[in-house]
Chains A and B, each alone.
Chain A
């Protein structure tokens, strides 16, 4: 059974703080690593899909890195804003584009 672990489970930061989360996944049979943002009462929204070791992706104040050899990915948020409050999910891509999701990191940003 594939295991995808995310840490921390939850995080409470002040507006303007920078923060980062970790996703750990199997280092073998790697196809892709996905990051999604899931705001309350909305649908999960894709942030990044990374497929190559050493990949770095950026979208505004959010960026992600990928290390497939050691099986981890980091998601960084620079200068957190209250609208960044959400659950951040990572998912390990297997064959046929099946995804195995972690349990998520719940981020709360206070003004």
Chain B
């Protein structure tokens, strides 16, 4: 079974802090994604990566950056956390080939910024 592991289920941080959310997958997937989920909104794509050291902006990249130094690990960074970044964050991964590849998700990190 594909395993996508996010480092924390719950996280509480303060405004202005630099926050790191880590995601590791064990299936040698090329693609990795970071989403956020807010009430009444669908999952929204923040950033994605299709290869090591490659990154592409998603629909809502402002206030975030990412790092992919190794194929299995994709980190989301909140440079200076703000209260409007309180949300559920989901990481996902998939194979690159074809358009019929499902995405495999982690359990999510519920992040609160105080």
Residues of A within 8 A of B (CB): 4, 31-32, 34, 36, 41-46, 49, 51, 89, 91, 93, 96-104
B45 — which chain A residues lie within 8 A by C-beta? 98-100
Instruction: Find out whether the CB atom of A44 lies under 8 angstroms from the CB atom of B96.
Output: no
> How close is B100's CB to chain A, nearest CB, in angstroms?
5
Instruction: Find out whether the CB atom of B48 lies under 8 angstroms from the CB atom of A98.
Output: yes
Instruction: Find out whether the CB atom of A89 lies under 8 angstroms from the CB atom of B102.
Output: no
Instruction: Find out whether the CB atom of B102 lies under 8 angstroms from the CB atom of A34.
Output: yes
B58 — which chain A residues lie within 8 A by C-beta? 98
Q: Which residues of B (22-80) have their CB < 8 Å from a CB of A? A: 31, 35, 40-45, 48, 50, 56, 58-59
- Interface size in chain B (residues, C-beta < 8 A): 27
Contact of B108 among A32, A34, A36, A43 (CB under 8 A): A43
B56 — which chain A residues lie within 8 A by C-beta? 96
B94 — which chain A residues lie within 8 A by C-beta? 97
Contact of A89 among B31, B42, B50, B104 (CB under 8 A): B42
CB of B90 closer than 8 Å to a CB of A? yes
CB of B4 closer than 8 Å to a CB of A? yes
Give Cα A60 to B94, complex, Å: 24
Interface string of B88-114 (1 = CB under 8 A from A): 001000101001111111111000000
B42 — which chain A residues lie within 8 A by C-beta? 4, 89, 100-104
